């Protein structure tokens, strides 16, 4: 249990948010074309995670895709438009 002062009051809570720095040493994801409408995204864990990684997410053109994965791995993007340029990020 943590004690947090709030003005002249004290709040007790079971957990407190931590301000953790972003992971360091995260290599760019690898993108592998499976077919003309499918792309496999492959990534590795950061060298310094700077805390527990609770989930990896993929952003496809700034749209968040929750992978449900807590560990480095792969994710398949399907139903893409052939010859379209996409921006892919793993966070």
CA distances from 41 to 13, 44, 46, 73, 82 (A): 39, 10, 16, 8, 17
Return the higher-pLDDT residue of 77 and 27.
77
* Confidence label for 14 from pLDDT (cuts 50, 70 and 90): low
The predicted pLDDT at position 77 comes to: 97
Return the higher-pLDDT residue of 36 and 18.
36
**Domains and their CATH numbers in the chain:** 22-90 (2.60.40.10)
**Neighbouring residues of 44: CB distance < 8 A, sequence distance ≥ 6:** 26, 27, 72
Question: What does DSSP assign to residue 24?
Answer: B
Question: What does DSSP assign to residue 48?
Answer: B
Residues, the chain = 91
* Confidence label for 70 from pLDDT (cuts 50, 70 and 90): very high
């Amino acid at each position: 249990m943590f004690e947090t002062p709030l003005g002249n009051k004290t709040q007790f809570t079971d957990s407190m948010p931590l301000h953790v720095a972003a992971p360091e040493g995260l290599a760019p994801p690898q993108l592998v074309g499976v077919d003309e409408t499918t792309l496999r995204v492959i990534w590795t864990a950061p060298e310094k995670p700077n805390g527990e990684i609770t989930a990896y997410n993929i952003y496809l053109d700034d749209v968040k895709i929750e992978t449900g994965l807590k560990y480095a791995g792969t994710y398949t993007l399907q139903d893409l438009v052939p010859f379209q340029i996409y921006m892919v990020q793993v966070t």
